[in-house]
Structure formats: C-alpha cells, structure tokens
Structure 1
Amino acid sequence: MADQTPKWVYSFGGGAADGSAADKDRLGGKGAHLAEMSRIELNVPAGFTISTDVCAAYYEQGRSLPEELKPMVDEALEKMAAIAGAHFGDVEHPLLVSVRSGARASMPGMMDTVLNLGLNDKTVEGLARRTGDRRFAYDTYRRFIQMYADVVLGLDHGLFEDILENYKALKGFELDPQLQAENWVEIIGAYKALVAKEFGMPFPQDLREQLWGAISAVFGSWQNARAIAYRRLHDIPDDWGTAVTVQTMVFGNKGDQSATGVVFTRNPSTGENALFGEYLLNAQGEDVVAGLRTPQPLTEKQSAANGNGKASLEALMPEAFAELKASCAALEKHFRDLQDIEFTIEEGKLFMLQTRSGKRSTQAALKIAVDMAEEGIISKQEAVASLDPARLDQLLHPTLDPNAEMTVLAKGLPASPGAASGEIVFDADEAVHMKAQGHTVILARIETSPEDVQGMHAAVGVITTRGGMTSHAAVVARGMGRPCVAGAAAAHIDLERETLEAGGAVMHKGDIVTIDGSSGKLIKGRVTMRQPDLSPDFATLMEWADGFRRMDVRANADTPADARHARDFGAEGIGLCRTEHMFFQENRIVAMREMILAETKESRRAALAELLPAQRQDFIELFEIMAGQPVTIRLFDPPLHEFLPSEEDAIVDVAEAMGVGVAQLKRRIAVLSEFNPMLGQRGARLLVTYPEIVDMQARAVFEAAIEAGAELHDRVRPEIMVPLVATKRELDIVKERILVTARAVEEERGTSLAFQVGSMVELPRACLMAGEIAESAEFFSFGTNDLTQTTFGLSRDDAGRFLGEYADKGIINHDPFMTLDAAVGELMEIGVTRARAVRPDLKIGICGEHGGDPQTIVFCEKIGLSYVSCSPYRVPVARLAAAQAALKSQL
C-alpha cells in the first residue's frame, strides 16, 4: 500500500528547491520566496520549510508536533549538511541553523525567531576550531542561549540583558566587541545559572531537543497576543497558520568584511528608482532589530544625503555591493514588484536571506506602479491591480505630520479621512457664526442630525461621542470632505457648560483641538499638517483604470460645492442628491417649518411655494455643473420632526419667528414625533400622504432641467428617485403625481421633457418584490445604509457601541455598515435577478456608503450593477476599485 503521509517538508538551496513562489499558501511568504530565489540560482543558505499544514496539525493535537514529521526533518537536515559542508550535532563541523516563522501574508515582527541553534557546550568548541575565532564562537553561543531562553523557555530577555550590562560595568567595558572569549564564557555561565534557577532545569544540551523546542515555539507564536492583534487589524484569517523555515546560519558578525542589512529595490517613501536601505557592519540580524546600534547607509547617494559621516556599503565593500545590486535587479524583474530584501555578507561573501513585496507609501505605490508599467516590467492592467484603492484616501486629504508631537485625548472611529485643527464649538449655529467672523472651528456634538448640516459645513472637522461609521455625522462629513471622528465614547460633552472632557483634560469652547479622521484620534492643541499633493502619476493611473472598468462611478452630492468636487475627482454624474439637506439653510428652514406645522393642504402648498424658487435654483446649478451627465434626485425622505426644534429655548425662538404660540408648536411637534422614525412615516410613506411635496419637488426639477438645458444647449435628463418604496402601489401613486406635474410644466413651457422615475431599494421587501416594482420603476438604486439596518434590525447610529466587541468575539468579520454583509448582498442579488427578468436593460446602481468600499464594489461588479455612487472624495477609490473588479472578473 502506498505511503499516505503527506509531504510536510520542502528543501531548498544549492540552486534547487522542492517548492516555488506559487506555493505561498503552503510554504508561507518566506519559505516560498526562499525556494524561488534558490530556483533562480541566487546564493541562498540551504534549508527547508515545514508547511502550514503542520501548523494546523500542531493545534489539532493540543500544541504538539506529529511524530511523522521527525523523519522528514532528519532527511532535510542531511540535504542541508551536504550543501553546507557541516552537520547538525557534529562536534568538529557543527551546522548552525535559524528557525523562523513565515505566514502567507507578511506579519513583520509578530511571531518568533531563534538564531544560532545547534550550539551546546561541545559544539561551541567545534565552531571555535572551525572558524579559528573563539571570541566569535562564544559570543554566538551566548546570543543563542538568550534568544532560546526567551522564545522557547519563556524567560524574560531583560534578565539576560541585566547580567550582560552588570558584567560590562563591573569589568569596565563599554561595548560588546570589547569582550573577549573568556568574558563570554563567564557570561554564558551566568546565563545558564539563570536558566536553571528560573526554569527549574539546566539549559538543554541535546540539539534535537533544541530544534523541536524551537519549531514548536514558532508554531505556537501564531497564537501569541501581538500576532492575533495584527491579524485583526489586517484581516488575516486565523486558519491560515504559519510555516516554519529552518535555514543554515550565515554570520554577518565575523569581522570588518561581514555585515547584515535590508535593501529595497526602490525608495519605499518616494518611489524613486534607486536602491534604498541600511546595514550594520560586523553584526547579526538581531542587532538590527534591537536598535542598539545606528545603521549605516547602503549607497553613496544615501550617505551624501544623510550627512552622518558613516561609510556606505557601496564604499566599504564595492564587490559585495555590486553583487547585491545585481541580485536586487534580478529579483525585482523576476517578481515584477518592489522587493524588500534581507541579506548577510560573511567575510565578503553575499547571501540572500529573504525577499518579499515591499511595503510602501501610497505616493510611492503610485509612482512605482506607473514607472514599472512604462518601463515594461508590468502591464498597465497589473499597475492598476497593484494598488490598494482604500489607500488613495490618504492622497486626497490633509494628514498629520508623523513626526509631530501630540497629546491624544480620546479615540473614536475613523469615520471620514483627513485631519484638521480648530477652535472647538458645541453648537451648529455657533459654528456658522464663528466661521463668519473668520474663525476655524471643530464642531463637537454628542451626535448630529440634519439640523446640524450648516454647522458641519462651516466647521473644518466634526467629532461626536456617539454613532458609528455610517452615522449621520460620518455620512455627511464624508460627502463634504470633512474629517470626522465618530463614537468617541471616552470623551464626555457637556452642552450646557460647553466643555469636552477626555484624557484627564477639560476643553472649553474656543480651545484648540485637532482631529484625525484617518485614525479616529482627538488631540489636544494644534498639530502640524501635511497637505495633499496629487502627482501626475495619480492622473495617469486613474486614466488607465477608467479604460478597464465596466461600471460607471457617480457621486452622492447635495450641493454645488459637492458636485464640483465630484467632477474634479472624475465622477460621471450624481447618483444621489438628498434634497432634504437643501432645506436647512437659514433662509429656507422657516418656510419648511411652516409647511410642516400647516394643518391643511392649502397652507402646506403656500409654504412649499416659498421653497420652490430656491429648490429650482439648486437643481439648475447641479445640472449645469454636471453638464449633461446623469443626476439622480431623491425626493424628500426623512421624517418631518427632524426639521423641528427639540430644546426649550429653540422651540421658543421658532414659535416667535413663525408667529405661533409655544403651546401650539409643542402640540404639533408631539403629533409628528415617532417612536422609531427610521421605520416610520418617511420616504414614500410621507410622499403618499403629503403629495404636495412631490408636486413642488417635481416642478422644481422639471423647470430647472428646462432652464439648465437652455444654458447648456443640450437636453437635461433628470432621474427622479422615490425613497423607501416597499410596494409597487406606493411607487405608482408617487409616479403619477410626478407625471401630472411633468405634463403641466410641458404645457406651460411649450416644450417636452426627458426624465426617468425610479425607486430607491432599501427594504428587504423591495428586494423580494423587485420584479413587481420594476414594472413601474425605470431604474433602481440600492440604498444599502437602510437596507443593512432593516436586514440586521439595528440602528447604524447605535451599533458602534457593540460592533467592536462583536468583531473581537468573531460574531462578525467586519462592520456591515462599511463593507456589505453577505445577507444584504444576497437580497440585492435577488432584487437584480427579479427586476431584470421584467426589464432586462434596467439601470441599477448603489448609492449607500458601501458604494465607495472596494470589497463591496467587487460584489457590485459580480452581480452586474450599472454604476456605484459614493461621496465625492471616495470617487477615485471607487474608480480604481471598479477597474480592479472588472479585471478580476475577466480572469
């Protein structure tokens, strides 16, 4: 019967390898790339990789290694020995190895490593004889004891550092290189005594015990606290596991012709096509990590720029540097990406220890992608696919200077990117007033409502102590391009005293604060900013992306300023214009409140007539700015009580301004108040019961379309969207009012109109009944903010209180208000399928905040949506993500 034991160990070195870069899932990034470097005949120290399958088995067996692994490792050790000319455990020619982790996704510094394994009291003498350097041999042995005791035995490495520092102080040594072999022997004795005392057993002399202990420890580090936290932050699945690579040790600490270092094939900060890196002379890898010595510049160009007087590797070891430069060029060409490379030079001989795709700034990522495409290293498609769309946000907003000192008072959710400093104010009207006087303000609220929109617009940034990533504050701030920190629960706002208390400090109205909407930080005082700078590479890459994508990208825009920003960022129309935001301006809110308080149709119509000219002018400006591109106008959506005051002082002021009694106003507010307004009389329900709102808004749209069309010398084709439709009959009733108004305007103006009436799909019932609703709807737009709320049965403004804990406990993988949930997506897919069965050419888009989320955009491409719509500052993100989704669908 054939052996059923799976292959768990993959050897590499000597110009050959069992695996390749294609085996990244099984060998991890480190093991796969070592194998690939061996295959292209770079000088890689021989070794082997234990696959991620063993990591799974290790945990399944209660953190123990399978017995079947041991003969595979023994065989691989023999292969290593043949290439290295040394043998594991041989007293005369000992083979020393490193034991390192390597997950398929890079997790730098998160898991454990053991170097110099293979030394004991006997083999250290063999190493001394083999190298002719007792000092080096015993220094290496003490390094191994310290690292092994820390990683495998769980002893605090600081205890060993204390022994070393006390010994140096007692003997009068300042630097480690001043210690001689006999000094290291004494220190090793103290180290071993510490292990025996703290661990209760002597330091292990059995080399196989050392090796299995190190392999187990590295597998075990997959579940250490920092690795788990890193995976949470970077969405790395827990079940991926890590591989373990065992590799022949090479030594960068064997004199002045030895070194260790890191090199990037291009500058990771700027993207410049020039080697960039650092090295340490006569050092091992842990010396670099420890940061106890200042690295030296790699190239002469870096040395001249740094001006620190330290010699470059290029100057000190020109032959090794020339070989390194050639290896870097070969690796970048082979992997077709910026490479982050670790190397060691042992007595003038270069060894390549690791290569991986290098992390880079967003600005550098753009330049590298465009340059590599223009150099012919990669295609334009690959250049577009290489960038993380979400990172483009960093280029579009001011950011904090990373070198600036700052006192963080509290942290909330990073609800809208960018950073801003200003005087803190606690009232929207105060924000407007102070801006008019020339002040720069940050608006702080417990939570915002539509009534705060003017204040949000006047402020340079917004912070709330409640709410989530799709709360009112978050959504509106993103649309305006304002930085926003939402749900900063650790901060307490007292609206009466006009104070914010957080981090032990009390900030009063007028005090300067800074918010960082990219990290969620509230910071005391003013912090130095870096202003956005869009390079020509940005425009080039966006042009390439537009050539590959299928879906259109529109913007959610409610004001002329929003529309202009959207056009600047490449939007192909407006996918959502929320008309209710237009009514909060000071010269309109009174008429709006008169309409709400009116108790007869006639008085409501009179109040709406006052609003008509302003609403018409808004639409004219939007149509002219978009210059023939589609504009989707959502009819009035929110419940009416949102336009009425809630605080006593405000009620008195409004009653006086409107000429009604306070008691009368309070009665009307009470009548309009709802227990759950999100599910109450709003959207289509409000339009059915107050049809005069439909009449006014439709007239404003049509008259604006005619006037803008005359100015543009082209017909304007508005799209009128009815929100919160649950039944076809609702849509039919509202649509009939729109058609009646259209006919009236056509007759009055002696012209014809071109327009469409569609439905906003934001209820599960609407998804399920999409086929029936599509009989009347001429387009669909998924409002995924409310569709998520109604599918989950939770409020996006309150969900921030517990979604973090839900993520920690594995109940959810991501915030469903930021990245589309699978169940919401399934409802959308049902809706698309049923609607297009009735109208095959039905235009269908998405206009919730998910429209700017790259993962969601991939799903929108999959189900065949016609367009996505998002806030103006996320348009470039959506353009790139839509291109990547289209390219992915072609594979």
Structure 2
Amino acid sequence: MKKWVYLFTEGSADMRNLLGGKGANLAEMTNLNLPVPQGFTITTEACTQYYEDGKQINDEIMGQIMEYIEKMEEITGKKFGDKENPLLVSVRSGARASMPGMMDTILNLGLNEEVVEVLAAKSGNPRWAWDCYRRFIQMYSDVVMEVGKKYFEELIDEMKDEKGIVQDVDLTAEDLKELANQFKAEYKEKIGEDFPSDPKEQLLGAVKAVFRSWDNPRANVYRRDNDIPYSWGTAVNVQMMAFGNMGETSGTGVAFTRNPATGEKELMGEFLMNAQGEDVVAGVRTPQPIAQLADTMPEVFAQFVDICNTLEDHYRDMQDMEFTIEDKHLYMLQTRNGKRTAKAALKIACDLVDEGMISEEKAVSMIDPRNLDSLLHPQFDAEALKNAEPVAKALAAAPGAACGKIVFTAEDAKAWAARGEKVVLVRLETSPEDIEGMKAAQGILTVRGGMTSHAAVVARGMGACCVSGCSAIHMDEANKKFILAGKEYHEGDVISFDGTTGNIYDGAIRTVDATIAGEFGRIMAWADKYRTLKVRTNADTPADAKKARELGAEGIGLCRTEHMFFEENRIEAFREMICSDTQEEREAALDKILPLQQGDFEKLYEVMEGNPVTIRFLDPPLHEFVPTEDADIDRLAEAKGKSREEIRSMIASLHETNPMMGHRGCRLTVTYPEIAKMQTKAVIRAAINVKKAHADWDVVPEIMIPLVGDNKEFKYVKKIVVQTADEEIASSGMELKYEVGTMIEIPRAALTADEIASDAEFFCFGTNDLTQMTYGFSRDDAGKFLEAYYDAKIFENDPFAKLDHSGVGKLMKMAIESGREVNASLHCGICGEHGGDPSSVEFCHKIGLDYVSCSPFRVPIARLAAAQAAIQN
C-alpha cells in the first residue's frame, strides 16, 4: 500500500517533492532536535490523487489520516475532542516551492463549545480560550467554507465601537464569547447549517480546503509567474498548536537570519506579544522589531539566536523563520530559504562565498534571474530629491522608486495601467487577491502591516516598490480618498514614494535608471565563467545597443530595419517608394533612404566594436508604412504628381485580410528586389567604412532574410544579396567577409531545415512568429481567450512568454539537428521575446543553440540563466 502520510520524525529536507517545502523543513528541524510542535504531513501525491478522484479524498488516504491522528495523539498525550486534555492543531499548506500568501492556514482546529470550556477552566485563562475559538470559527468559515472575512471583521469593529476600544486585545473574555456566538450565527445564516463541532469532521474539511486552494485563482497566477507546474500539488501539514495568545508571556513572530532588503548579516524580524499566527504578517497590528525581544524575554531571545545560527549553518542560506512563544517556551513553526530583494540576493550570495559556506557555482545557482530586473529599475533622481520634503515616512518594504496616480483597488490599478496610466496602489493592507493589481502598479503603499506583511513579501518577489505600515494615513477606502499630513488625496492625485528609504512625497519626482553595484559585477563575472551560451541583444538604435553592451551583450542578434524607416526624414521617401509605378521610380525613392540607413548601421557597428551584428531585412507588410492623415496623403500626392484619389486607391490596394501571413518578409524582396539591393548596399558600405576606421575590429555583417518557408525562396533572395554585396566589396578594393542566413519562423522552414541549411550560414529562430504559426493564433488576439485556457487547465503559461517545449521547441530541435547534419558550421540562435525568459534560456542551452538574443534590460537575466543551465545540465 502506498504511503500517503508521514510523521515529522519520518521525513527529511531532501523529501521536498513529496512533503512540500514546509513539511520537509519541519522534519529536518525535528531531526536537528529543535523545539518543533509535532505532527504529520499529508503528501503532495495525495493532493494530485484528490484531483484525479474528482476532488474527493479516497478511502485509502482517509484511513491513513485517521491512523496518523491516533499516532499524533500518542506522541502528544492529548486527544481530539477530549474533556481532560484536548488536542488542538494547525492545518497549513506547503508546496514544493514557497508560495507566500497563496495558500491558507487554519489555527486552533479541534475546538467546539465543550472543549473551549475545558480549555478556559484548565488554563484559568478564559479570555485566551474564547479568543482561540472565535479565531478558529472566523478562519474555518473563511478558508474552508469561503464565507468572506469581511463579515467577521465588521462584527469585531461593531463590538469595539460599542465598547469604545481600539485594539482587539482590549476585548474581554465575555466580549469574545459573545463574538464567537455572533460568528456562529453568521456562519449558519450564510451556509444554512450549524458550525461543525466534531474535530475529525473539521480536520477533513480543512485538508480538502488546502487541496482546493492549490487551484484558487491567485495560486494559479502566482504559479504562472513563477514557473511552478500545476501537477506538483501541495502537501498539508497538521501540527500540534503552540499558543502565542495566552497572555503577556506569549507571542509570535517572523524573522530572517539576514536583512532581506539589503542582505546585511543581521537578525531582522518582528514579533507581537499576546498574538497568534497570522497577526504579524496580516498587518492588523504593527509589530515590534525582533531586537526588542532581548529586553522582553532575554533567555528566549538567546535561545532563538542560537537556533537561527544553527539553521543558517545547516541550510547554508538566509532563513525565514516563524516562531511562537507559549508561556516563555519557544517553538519553531517553520523555516525556509527567505525571499529577498535582488540587491540582497547578490550580497548574500557573495558573502556566503567569502564566508566559505558555498562555492561560486552555488552562488550563481541560488539567484533567481528574473529578480535582476528590479536592480535595473528606476531610483529617484538625487537632484530632484534634494528639493523634495517627505510628507511622511513608513517602512521601506521593497526597494525602487514609484511615482504615479493614486488608485485604491487592484481592479482599478489593472484597468488604469491597461490604458497606459502610471498608477500607485494605496490600500489599508493588501491581500493575495490584489496580486494582479500589484503587478500593474508602479508601487504599493499600505497603511497597516510590517516588513513581513503580504504586500512586502509579494512586492519584493515581483521587483515592485513597496512602502508599508504608514499609520499616518487616515484612510477612507469606500470614498476613495485619504488624509496625509493635513492634505486630502483623491483617486488620480499624484504621489511618489521610495521603497528603499520609506519616504513618501507629495506630487511627482523624477526617476532615473539604476546604477549597478559591485556584487552584481562579481556574480555576473562568475556567470560568464560557467555559461557556454552567448548572449546578444535585440536593438534597433545605437542607444539600445549601447545600453545592452553595458549590461554585457556580446553582439546584436536582431536589428529590425523597418524601425529605422519610421523616422521623420525617411518615412516620406519610403512612402514615395511604395506608391511608385515603375522600378526606376522605386529605386529613385530608395536612393534617398540609402545613405540614412547606411549611417544607422555604421553607428551600430561602432557601438558593437567588432562583435556580431545581425541585420534583418524589411519584414512588415507595406500597408504599415502608408499615411492615414489627410495632410500626409496630400503631401505624398504632391511628391508623386498624383491626385489624392489615386494615392487613396493605391493605399486601399495594399489592404490585406490577414497581414500577419500576407505580403511581408522575403515575399517583399521577391516582388521588389530593389528593396533588398538597397539594404544590402547600406549594410556592406557601413561595414567597409567602419572597418577602414578600425582595422583591428572583426566586422562580419550577418544579413538575415525573414519569413522564409522554402529553400527556393531563400536561394532567390540570397542570390540578389550576394550579387549586390560582392559588387560593393569589389568596388571598395577591400576584403570583407559577410554571412547570409535566415529566420526560422514558419513551421515549414523548420521541417525542411536540412534543405535550407545547404545554402544558409546561420539560423535564427523568430519564436514570436514561430509560436503564432505553430499554434495558429495571433499574439495580438490571444489575450482574449488565454484566461479561459488557464481556467480550463489547457495552458499553464502564455506560450508567447514561455517557450512551448513540446511543440515549438520540438520544431527548433529538429531544425538544428537536421540543419547541422548538412552544414556542420551552421550557427543557431533565438531572437524572439523568449530569449530573455530563464526557463526558455535553459531549453535553448539543452538543444544546443549558440546564442540567445533578448531586449537590452534582459541581457543580465539571460547571462545568469545561461550559467545556471550550464551548471545544472
């Protein structure tokens, strides 16, 4: 019989795939003899089985859960529902990868009308007993039965108003007993049945809820953003309760062994006395810094510091720990590798190498490449800051600078951002439901909550700026306004705040791009040492190319020449070319563009200093270039000596039913060879001029023909290019090597790659179009139905953001293998958006690409991902 349940004493850290991160680490802490309340873990496989069985817990798993409840009762000496010594447990989820705020926790499970009275009498602390019970009813109703939290919060607020008190802790035992009864009445009204009193029924309800929450919308969004497969499932941890709410000698807290914002080696965290579980991270009361525990409870603090050192030495990484103190006894509830900012990740990795704890390879492997994004993000301009007075200061929860219009809900943040507005999300506190709005906002500002609140953790993870716990704000969420420093702010007003200092400013402050610190250079140097995949950039302007070089690009993998035609002084000449009747007229118009295009290429070659530059010839259909405004049409008519009607009729004739598959790419060259001739002249003349000026540079232009589907097409265009290039080189009297290759973006090109490779010198996979054509849907329209595909579990990711390994990837692998069989020197790269996505970079490494090419700011991400791929494979 399969084992579905494990005691903490039966597991270890390397069983993470089966026990989830939380379960594996609870087992490991138990093995290290740390004070862990005992319990058991229901495996991730049981979760997968639950979904396979139509969202039911089958008899075999149910039987094992019941058997392990009895084992837990033996270990603890307590019994579920017992009148003498009742067992109370917490139920927590724990997936293989940490998913903060994505899964829900239930505390104090096992309480009912009778047990709460036993607890009150036995402890001599009825306030504590009733506080536990009302919390349990509230959590169970919310998490298991999905009765919204807000109904219960409203009842608490009404009670506090009635009694004239501000804090929950000021409610008496009688108040809490009354609340518990109100909560049960609310439950019955919403659900239509009594609140369950049988502890085993409560436990099964809770286990099912954890399994269900693996599939809740916010978990699915988080998984999509963090490459966590749906098939992994979550484990469930059932653990004996330790109570932090028994009075002033009890408490609960969260701490990090190093500073998660800066990486400094200092214990950092927060605690609350007389509080339970989620109180610290939920941000309902603002907690005390961990250092104050040394004054409050010196012995407990000393023991805690010892445990922190033990755990960091054991895991060789910064730890994020949850603990509870029950009547002066310390209990460890969780440890995990802590979420950290990108800046902190680099510092911690370098420090651990310097401390002799880890190797360079391990340092490179422990940084999430996607987080580097935030290092490359804006800070406030130092000059502008000198003249700015902060109107308030709160906790600096996640670094970066944010400036934008105020919105009060996640929905508004998403909607305003979609129409191009820069917004900042201001909330009392954030919850996991707000994740999409947090992604859309420039930054997040909260009234409640500390450095470990949901807003802080999620913002740090996604590289967004966050300031939390600004209690100076008097919030009126219902009317979308707040008062800060005597001024009333409404939706749409502009504020700025700094997630590195916690300062909040009235109005807009100019931001500047980040400068990259020393640790970044060290990590990147190690990454470059271990990676085998080259990293180029997609750049159409010298400024983009320069930025990419600064960030470590080793060449240009894609220069889109059409972007150069849109500039003011050339679009008119190009439109004249489009509206010409004869080849001579077209050539005359193109001759005006030639020196300008040549100048563009010279600048790119200069910036790249002899590194490879791949120039893609004209790709979009001609209708994208024609005028739409009357004044532009009249100007064109005058230049061509035609009437406005004739020009309109020519423009109308360019309209296509499906332009994505229409008259574009190499098809334009087959129709109008003079376009390719002009572009070839510009490429070759530019290369010759730069080579004259820099004899030591190895300038080898790479000319890339787009949208080839048949080798005969490629040969036809290549012949035009070679003839023109050779004439140019001969007349210059210099020697110049150049290469002609193709984009592989049509499935037929991948299927016949062996034929094309006999004539092409390189392949570059244009995975944006290759994905469109392989799936048969348009990137611009896919957004309309992808959400439905995620909900139906047809897709887990957007195939335009993460490369589809089994379809598009299979075509790429086939093309590389069959191409290299015919042409051993064929070099292959990728230049779609996928070139900067870490999981796609790893795939590119595995199938033997020579380089990836991505947008300038993603170059460091690709360099690090390429190193990780080389180390792991």
- The RMSD of aligned alpha carbons is 3.6
Aligned equivalents of 1:198, 1:800: Cα separation in 2: 36
Aligned partner of 2:334: which letter?
A: Q
Report if aligned partners of 2:378, 2:401 keep a CA contact under 8 Å in 1: no
- Give a deviation string over 1:841-880, Cα, whole Å, max 9, x none: 2111112222222222122112111111122222122212
Residues 1:407 and 2:389 aligned together: no
Which residue among 305, 330, 337 is the counterpart of 1:325?
A: 305
**1:616–1:101: structure 2 CA closer, same or farther, 3 Å change rule?**
closer
Deviation per CA, 1:757-784, whole angstroms, max 9, x where unpaired?
Answer: 1122221221111111111111111222
Q: CA deviation at 1:86?
A: 3.6
2:293 matched residue in structure 1:
313
Pair 1:46-2:8 in alignment: no
In structure 1, the residue matched to 2:618 is 636
Equivalences for residues 732-881 of structure 1 within 5 A: 732-821=715-804, 822-881=806-865
- The answer on 1:389 being equivalent to 2:381 is no
Identify the match of residue 243 of structure 1 among 235, 248, 255: 235
Counterpart selection for 1:695 from 677, 697, 707: 677
Aligned in 2, Cα 1:215/1:738: closer, same or farther, shift over 3 Å? Answer: closer
> 2 CA distance for matches of 1:416 and 1:886?
41
Q: Name the residue aligned to 1:506.
A: none
1:730 counterpart = 2:713: yes
1:368 equivalent in alignment to 2:368: no
User: Within 5 Å, which residues of 2 pair with 1:144-293?
Assistant: 144-152=136-144, 204-224=196-216, 226-228=218-220, 230-231=222-223, 234-288=226-280, 291-293=283-285
SS at match of 1:797: helix
- Does residue 334 (structure 1) correspond to residue 291 (structure 2)? The answer is no
- Residue 468 of structure 1 corresponds to none
Structure 1, unpaired ranges of 5+: 300-311, 422-460, 462-482, 484-502, 504-510, 517-523
Q: What is residue 298 of structure 1 aligned with on the other side?
A: 290
Question: Does residue 98 in structure 1 map to residue 81 in structure 2?
Answer: no
Shift, 1:289, TM fit: 5.1
Question: Residues 832 and 145 (structure 1 numbering): CA distance in 2 closer, same or farther, change over 3 Å?
Answer: closer
Q: Residue 686 and residue 358 in structure 1: after superposition, are their counterparts in 2 closer, same or farther (change >3 A)?
A: same
Aligned to 1:7: 3
Counterpart position of 2:389: none
Superposition deviation, residue 315 in structure 1: 1.8
Structure 1 contact 854–878 (Cα < 8 Å) conserved: yes
2:637 corresponds to: 655
Q: CA deviation at 1:354?
A: 0.8
Q: Which residue identity does 2:367 align to in structure 1? A: L
Letter in 2 for 1:407: V
- With over 3 angstroms needed to count, the CA separation of the structure-2 counterparts of 1:595 and 1:153, relative to structure 1, is closer
Partners of 1:514 and 1:661 lie apart in 2 by: 53
Provide the C-alpha distance between the structure 2 equivalents of 1:791 and 1:515, rounded to a whole number of angstroms: 44
Change (3 A) 1:164 1:823: closer
**CA offsets 1:193-234 (integer angstroms, 9 cap, x no match):** 666777666655544444444434444444455545554555
**SS of equivalent residue, structure 2 residue 760:** coil
The alignment status of 1:721 with 2:704, answered yes or no, reads: yes
Deviation at 1:160, TM superposition (A): 5.5
> Larger deviation: 36-45 or 197-206?
197-206
Paired residue type of 1:853: D
Give the 3 Å change call, closer, same or farther, for CA 169–778 of structure 1 in structure 2.
closer
Q: Return closer, same or farther for 1:11/1:657 CA change in 2, 3 Å cut-off.
A: same
Aligned mates of 2:356, 2:869 — CA distance in 1? 23
In the TM superposition, what whole-angstrom CA distance separates every residue of 1:5-32 from its partner, at most 9, and x where no partner exists? x2122112xxxx1011222222222211
Residue among 659, 671, 678 paired with 2:660: 678
TM-score by length of 2: 0.81
The residue that corresponds to 1:478 in the other structure is none
Name the residue aligned to 1:590. 572
Aligned counterparts of 1:691 and 1:173: Cα–Cα separation in 2:
82
Q: Identity of paired residues, percent?
A: 54
**In structure 2, do the counterparts of structure 1 residues 379 and 681 end up closer, same or farther at CA, with 3 Å as the change threshold?**
same
Compare 774-783 and 331-340 and name the one that shifted more: 331-340
Distance in 1 (CA, whole Å) between partners of 2:779 and 2:111 is 59
Residue identity opposite 2:807 in structure 1: A
Is residue 616 of structure 2 the alignment partner of residue 620 of structure 1?
Answer: no
Could you tell me whether the CA contact under 8 Å between 2:751 and 2:815 is conserved in 1? Answer: yes
Aligned length: 776
1:390-449 deviations in whole A, cap 9, x for unaligned?
23222223377459761386747989999799xxxxxxxxxxxxxxxxxxxxxxxxxxxx
Task: Tell me how far apart the structure 2 counterparts of residues 19 and 200 of structure 1 sit (CA, whole Å).
Answer: 41
Q: Give the letter for the 1:8 counterpart.
A: W
Q: C-alpha displacement at 1:45, in angstroms?
A: 0.8
Residue deviations 1:692-750, cap 9 Å, x none? 33333222222222221121122421112222222222222332233333332333222
Q: Which residue does 1:497 correspond to in 2?
A: none
Q: For residue 829 of structure 1, what is the amino acid of its counterpart? A: K
Distance in 1 (CA, whole Å) between partners of 2:578 and 2:163 is: 87
Letter in 1 for 2:717: V
Q: Which sits farther off after the overlay, 633-642 or 25-34?
A: 633-642
**1:661 to partner: Cα distance:** 3.3
- 8 Å CA contact retained: 2:270, 2:280: no
Separation in 2, partners of 1:217, 1:624:
61
Question: Aligned-pair distance for 1:559?
Answer: 2.1
Distance 1:759 1:413 in 2: 40
Question: Deviations 1:296-334 (Å, cap 9, x if unpaired)?
Answer: 1111xxxxxxxxxxxx11221122112111211222222
Q: Aligned residue for 1:345?
A: 325
1:452-487 CA-to-partner distances (Å, cap 9, x unmatched) read xxxxxxxxx9xxxxxxxxxxxxxxxxxxxxx9xxxx
Q: 1:469: which partner in 2?
A: none
Preserved CA contact (<8 Å) 1:829 1:863: yes
Structure 1 pair 234–720 and aligned structure 2 pair: CA distance change class (3 A): closer
Write the distance in 1 (CA, Å) between the matches of 2:184 and 2:658: 69
Structure 1 residues 806-862: Cα deviation after superposition (integer angstroms, max 9, x where no partner): 333333332222222332222212211111010122111112222222222122112
**Equivalent residue for 2:107, pick from 104, 107, 115:** 115
**Preserved CA contact (<8 Å) 1:405 1:527:** no
| Structure 1 residue 658, shift from structure 2 partner | 4.6
The letter of the residue matching 1:40 is L
Residues 582, 615 of structure 1: 8 Å contact kept: yes
Whole-Å separation in 2 of the counterparts to 1:7 and 1:41: 25
Q: Is the 8 A contact 2:406 2:494 kept in 1?
A: no
Match of 2:378 in 1: 398
Contact 2:378 2:513 survives alignment (8 Å): yes
The alpha-carbon distance between structure 1 residues 514 and 588, as it changes in their structure 2 partners (threshold 3 A), is farther
